[in-house]
Each structure stands twice: as structure tokens, then as C-alpha cells.
Amino acid sequence: MDFGPNKRESWKNVLTLAYQSLGVVYGDLSTSPLYVYKSAFAEDIHHSETNEEIYGVLSFVFWTLTLMPLLKYVFIVLKADDNGEGGTFALYSLLCRHARLCSLPNCQLADEELSEYQKDGISSISKSFLGSSLKSTLEKHKLLQRLLLVLALIGTCMVIGDGVLTPAISVFSAVSGFELSMSKEQHRYVEVPAACAILVFLFALQHYGTNRVGFLFAPVVITWLLCISAIGIYNICEWNPHVYQALSPYYMYKFLKKTQKKGWMSLGGILLCITGSEAMFADLGHFSQLSIKVAFTFVVYPSLILAYMGQAAYLSKHHINETDYRIGFYVSVPEKIRWPVLVIAILAAVVGSQSIITGTFSIIKQCSALGCFPKIKIIHTSSKIHGQIYIPQINWTLMLLCLAVTIGFRDTKRMGNASGLAVITVMLVTTCLMSLVIVLCWHKSVLLAVFFLFFFGSIEALYFSASLMKFLEGAWVPIALALIFSVIMYVWHYGTLKKYEFDVQNKVSINWLLALGPTLGIVRVRGIGLIHTELVSGIPAIFSHFVTNLLAFHQVVVFLCIKSVPVPHVSPGERFLVGRVGPKGYRLYRCIARYGYRDIHKDDIEFEKDLTCSIAEFIRWW
């Protein structure tokens, strides 16, 4: 009789998380109706009396939303979590553990005894011959390991590029509603300054953390989704109740047959309907698989489909308009509610931008933890809610780049071209990494992985080629940003490896230490001396300088190594790995503090307390 309440409670938790995820995960995806049709019809194709173009675009939007976010992410990719965490680096970390690839220089066998490793059920024996061959090939060839790292870095850098482009296009598209209430000349002087002011305000709020205003996020997105759903239903009933027929794939064929190359190039605008889909996977650590699936399947997906169908229904009956804005979102909004919808759209755009900005902070923290980004100041904005961080340097850099894109492009067409390429590149990288996860982590058939890669990869390659054709019309921006950040990351990672190799080559031999005797040839005074080192074994060269040049040193010496391991979290009980260096009388110890790439580093006082307790416990037992 006790099973029922527990089950109801679990569903209550799922629904609560699903409600919260609407504000954090789906803000970006929910605002895509603001600019999809406008971007698709920007230049390549035109809205004709036959409606073949608008029906074709609607069919592409429907099937793209169905196959990519719903089928690929909800039913497949979300299952490839790294102990509850998601995102590009989570997939890479998962592959590193299962294929025994060491992305960090100071990996140890003892790390594999962590409980996070054990949760994976990692087996060194693959169930298929091809799977085990692929695994051994990756382990043997350093070049393939570097290519895998570069692939992960490209995906990560495109996410950072998306952090620049998404706020720009979302806010700019939201304020474009002013275009229907003023002349084109007046609108030109209002749109860009208004968008820039909102962007500056958005980035200026970041240091407060999302926990201060986070409770507003879900209501704003829900209000927005209800709003576009209601407008969609109204437009369908009022203008074209038979628009549902355009959901047939046959209209995609008719669309491409009529428009040919121009229709293919317009796919770069159509793919914007799935911008923000990657957030479902990237933000998995804050929620649960089931809550994200429930929110998308039963709320976000139907709302978006109704919104796009409603816009298509309206446009199918309105072909001639005296303005140049006949394809925009706001033209399909009834005039009486246009201003309230504009306000809600701006709020939804800010929420959507907020989620991608905090996501960018999170992924840069992961890169830094795994030795692929310079060490930067990270501020935790909430002591209670995991993962809410603020990085000042990155925040202001993103703001300046956002403003530069907004002022430089001044239209959704080129912003859409840039954002589309960033979005589809991240999805391509996820598809490639997922195909490896299917074989190496899930131990499934290679044929299944090839089918996954071919099916989703071919769809994404089609969109990618269309986006790449717009290189000179804005698509160069994410490529340039990705190139800059990739070079920074790869050079930093390479430098980290070389520095560690240098430290290993110059470490002091244990024979030198033994020859000095227990006193080390100097006066040992009371206290504990900490010597920071990257080495997980051996004595760092700097210690020989201390002994040679100092007259006295602490009675207890601890070689402290703070390192990251390729798992999202390390439990407090497994944090410290303590060992003795040399004979017992020398009082030399090594302590390795291990952190996952999503862990929060403790403050100095708490860290010192835990460190001292761990060493004292080791001395007591050993």
C-alpha cells in the first residue's frame, strides 16, 4: 500500500522539473518562430499565389522538428548521459573512459576506482569484433585521439559561437515588431538601439546569477508558448483549416522541384526552427531525462507546430502587402493583441538568451577543468543550486561580440545565416560522437551506429551545405569565432601536456631524498608545509630548491596535486588520495585532490580543513 504515494511523489518531482526546464532549457527553441519564416524567405525564395513555397517550408519545419529534437535528442541522445550530465564534452569524457583514452596528462589507474567510473559498468571487452577493433585502434593511434579531441573542441567552440549569435538574433527579432507601427525610416533608427540596450541590460544582470530572477523564467516561456499556440489555432481556424495537409512530405518534394537550388539554399533559414535543441542535452545535469522529455513532447513540440501552422495558414491567404515585412512573425498576429505579444516576445527572447549565456559559462568551465582552456576567474552565484556560475571575462567578451554582430549585420537574414551554421555544426559533432558512443559505450552493433550516422548525418549535412553556401552573407562569423577559440583551446591543451612532460623529466629521484636523511639536512620546524605540484608521482624539482636554499622547513611536508578527472563529479569521500613519499620518519606525504569537470572547488578554509583531516586519518591508520 506504500507504493502508490511514492510513485505519485516521483511523478510530482518529474512534473516540477519539467515545469522548471521550460524556463531554463526551452527559451531559445521557443522563440524560433520569431525569425524562421522571415529567414527562409529572406532572398532565395518568394511567396507565390500557388502557396507551394509556404507549404513546402511548413513541411520542412514539421519534419525537421520531428526528426531532430524529438526523435534524435528526446529518444536517443538523452540516453547517452555522463552520469546525469550532458553536452559535447560529456560525450567526449564518456568516450575517453570507455576507450581508455587519457585526455589529461596526470591520469592514474586509481581514478578508475571512483564510483562515477563504476556506474558506467565499463568493460574492457566489447561484445562485437568490430567494436573491440575500433576501441584498440583508438587506444593505439595518438593521431586519432587528437582528431577526436579536435572534433569535441569544434563542437564546443560552436556552442560558444551560439552564445554570441543567439542573444543577438532573438532580441533583434523580438524588437522587430516595432516595424509594423512606424515607417521604415523611423524603424531603422529604433530597432538597433533598442536591441543593443536590451543586450547590454541582459549581460549586466549576469553577475547577480539566474537564481535571483530564475523563478520568472518558466512563467514567461509558458505564457509565450500559450500565446503562440492560441494565435496559431486562431489563424488556422480563421484563414486555412486545411493547412494540416502541408505536413505531408510530398510538399517538401514539390517545394524542391519548383525552387531547385534556391529552395536548397533557403534550408539555411529553415533549420533555425531547431536552434536551441542542443540545450536539451547540454542542460541535462540540472534536470532529469524524463522531465526534459515530458516538457518537450507534451508542451514545447505541439506549441511550436501550432505556431508554424498558424503562420503558414495566415500567409497562404495573404500574398500582397504594401510593406516589406509580409513574411515576419508579427504580421500574422491579430492587430489588437500585437503590443502585448511584442512585450511577451521580448521577455521570452531575454529568457532564451539567458539560458544560452549560462550554458556558455558552464561549457567553458568544463573545458578549463579538462585542461583545454586558460584558468579564469569563476564565480558561483548560488551556494544552493548546482552549476550556476558567472565568468566576468567571458561575459563581457560575449556582450561586445553580441553588440558587434547586432550593429554590424542589422538584419535577421545575415544573423540567421550565422546562427544556422553554428547550430547545425554542433548537431553534426553530436551525431559523430554519438555513433562512437553506440559502439564503444553501449556495445551495440557497428551497423546500428553506421545507420544512426548515415540517417541523421545526411539530414544535417544537407542543412550544413545550405548554410555553408551563405559564407559571405554572415556564415563566416561562427567559423571565425570557432577558429579563434579552437586555436586558444588546442594551444592551451598542448602547452599543458608539454609542461607536465617537462615536470616529469626534471623530477627529483628518490635516492637523492634518501641520501639527505630524515631531517633533509635542514631544521624541521612545527607545522605543515604545502607544495603545489602537477605531478601525481615523484618529487617536483622545486622541492630541491627549497631544501638547498632554505635553512628551515616544516616538520610535515605535503606535495599537493589538485587535478581534474574525466567524470562529472567526485564524491567528497573519494576526493583525496593520500600516500607517503619515502620512509615514515621523513614525514613527507603526497595528497591528490580530485575534482570532476562539473564540481565546485571549495573555498580555502573548508578545503584546508578537509585536506588536514584526510592526512591525519592516513597517518592514524598507516
- Residue-wise pLDDT for 370-417, tens only, equals 888 898 888 877 665 556 678 899 999 999 999 999 999 988 889 999
Angle in degrees, CA 31, 37, 39, rounded to 5: 90
Banded model confidence at residue 212, pLDDT cuts 50, 70, 90: low
Q: For residue 501, how far is the Cα from the chain centroid?
A: 31
Query: What sign for the dihedral angle of Cα 546, 547, 550, 554?
Result: positive
Domain with CATH 1.20.1740.10 in the chain: 23-113+127-492
CB contact set of 40 (below 8 Å; sequence gap of 6+): 57, 266, 269, 270
Looking only at the bridges linking them, the beta strands covering 588-596 and 379-380 are: unpaired
Asked whether the predicted pLDDT for residue 324 surpasses 60, the reply is: no
Query: pLDDT grade, residue 323 (50/70/90)?
Result: very low
Domain 23-113+127-492 in CATH 3.40.50.300? The answer is: no
Say if CB 106 and CB 563 are below 8 A apart. yes
Residue type, 208: Y
Strand locations in 343-411 (E): 379-380, 389-390
Q: What is the pLDDT of residues 579-597, one digit of tens each?
A: 998 888 888 999 999 988 8
What pLDDT score does 183 carry? Answer: 61
pTM comes to 0.87
Helix axes 142-175, 476-505, angle to 10 degrees: 140
Q: What does the pLDDT look like over 271-301, one tens digit per residue?
A: 999 998 988 888 887 788 899 999 999 999 9
Q: What are the phi and psi torsion angles at 240 (to 5°)?
A: -155, 85
Q: Which residues, listed in sequence order, are joined to residue 530 by a DSSP beta bridge? A: 558
Q: Hey, what long-range contacts does 226-231 have (CB within 8 A, 24 or more apart)?
A: 226/303, 227/341, 227/344, 228/30, 228/33, 228/303, 228/304, 228/306, 228/307, 228/310, 229/302, 229/303, 229/306, 229/307, 231/307, 231/310, 231/332, 231/333, 231/334, 231/337, 231/341
pLDDT digits (tens, 9 = 90+) for 56-107: 999 999 999 999 999 999 999 998 888 777 888 888 888 888 777 766 666 7
Interatomic CA distance for residues 143 and 561, integer angstroms? 29
- Give bridge partners of residue 370 from the DSSP assignment: none
Contact criterion met (CB below 8 Å) for 4 and 234: no
Average pLDDT of the chain is 85
CA–CA distances in Å: residue 321 to residues 182, 312, 325, 333: 15, 15, 8, 15
CA nearest neighbour of 64 among 247, 284, 313, 311? 247
Cβ–Cβ < 8 Å for 344, 220: yes
